[in-house]
Amino acid sequence: MRRRVLLFALPEDDAAHVNWGADWRMPTVEEWQELKDNCTWTFDTLNG
């Protein structure tokens, strides 16, 4: 079976756009990388 890869989300497929309006969108791959590289991350367990 061949897999199809979606390279970008259409506005109607973007959860931020749908839930919060046209001025909002999910971050790009580059923006996610910037967040990953420049933020301090703390992992924890909630309720368990």
For residue range 11-37, what is the model confidence (pLDDT) as tens digits? Answer: 888 888 899 998 988 888 899 999 999
Report how far residue 45's alpha carbon sits from residue 43's, in angstroms, rounded to the nearest whole number: 7
Measuring CA to CA, how many Å separate 47 from each of 4, 9, 41, 42, 43?
A: 37, 33, 19, 16, 13
The secondary element (H helix, E strand) that includes residue 32 is helix 29-38
pLDDT at 13: 84
Q: Is 14 exposed, middle or buried, given 0-12, 13-18 or 19+ CB atoms closer than 10 A?
A: middle
Question: pTM here?
Answer: 0.54
pLDDT over threshold 90, residue 39: yes
pLDDT over threshold 80, residue 5: no
Report how far residue 30's alpha carbon sits from residue 44's, in angstroms, rounded to the nearest whole number: 26
